[in-house]
Amino acid sequence: MLLKNKRVVIIYKDSQDAKVETQNVQDILGRKGIESITIDPSLLKQCETEATCEKNRFSEVDCVIVLGGDGTLLSASRVFSKLNIPVLGVNIGGLGFLTSVSKTDITQILNDIVENRIDIEPRTMLICKITKNNETIEYNALNDVVIHKGGALARIIDLKLYIDGEELTTFRADGLIISTPTGSTAYNLSAGGPIVTPSLNTFILTPICPFTLTNRPLIVHDESTIKIELVTRSYEVVTLTIDGQVGVDFSKEDNVILSKSVYKTLLIRPKDYSFYKVLKRKLGWGGGTYNSEDKRKCKGETKG
């Protein structure tokens, strides 16, 4: 049974729609004897770096309900994956590949959770280890790790790629996306990378606007160890971002290693959930709906 402690955390984005739906969720759960705790999304950033915050505050939480877009769920995933707590994403506007449950289905999915008529879908995460000045910092990512140029000058950067210790190539491009299958429908998709079924054991490496046509997207096994070296000019401004939300400066002296994380994001899904149905609906394939907001999302003009 999912709701053993009868305690749920609700995280909502800063919008009027999300606030209204939060009250609706609290009312529904309250009538079923389920305690709900709302937390400020800004607390998630604090909890990413403070393990005691995670354990003490959320030790008896059964699941997390995210009311917002994929960005809000990504923040939640990096915290609650470490605690093995399942997360439900409810889409409040935007494209929402991860927050695939519509707000019109909230009552039904909450009933299903209470009655234990749901599935838990584990999603692979990346771990990125960055060594700077002999100090190693670790970040987990559900979608992707992106290395990209910064500053105002339109210069390309050179990134040397190693797979399992073997030098493969040097990407000359605006940047490089290292994506999980879950993140294949995010920045990777906008950059021309392939859409990958989330259950596959792979990582995707997609160059951003490559200078050379031979620099193509590459799919590797998720047991691979990926090393990236910056071999461009020392004065170039280069940034490494985690899920598009956490940014770190990346210099020639830094060491970046990526591999499969020991943590997984546990997504709560309805029994009839299908990734391909979501794909058809979001991309407008086979007569599915595809509105103007979806189009702007796919072009990368907005973030969920």
C-beta atoms surrounding 17 within 10 Å: 14
CB 130 within 8 A of CB 139: yes
Q: Which one of 27, 40, 62, 70 is the catalytic residue?
A: 70
Secondary structure (H, E, C), the chain = CCCCCCEEEEEECCCHHHHHHHHHHHHHHHHCCCEEEEECCHHHHHHHHCHHHHHHHHCCCCEEEEEECHHHHHHHHHHHCCCCCCEEEEECCCCCCCCCEEHHHHHHHHHHHHCCCEEEEEEEEEEEEEEECCEEEEEEECCEEEEEECCCCCCCEEEEEEECCEEEEEEEECEEEEECCHHHHCHHHHCCCCCCCCCCCEEEEEEECCCCCCCCCEEEECCCCEEEEECCCCCCCEEEEECCCEEEECCCCCEEEEEEEEEEEEEEEECCCCHHHHHHHHHCHHHCCCCHHHHHHHCCCCCC
Is 70 noted as a catalytic residue in this protein? Answer: yes
Instruction: Report how far residue 29's alpha carbon sits from residue 89's, in angstroms, rounded to the nearest whole number.
Output: 16
Answer yes or no: are the C-beta atoms of 110 and 166 closer than 8 Å.
no
Active site residues: 70
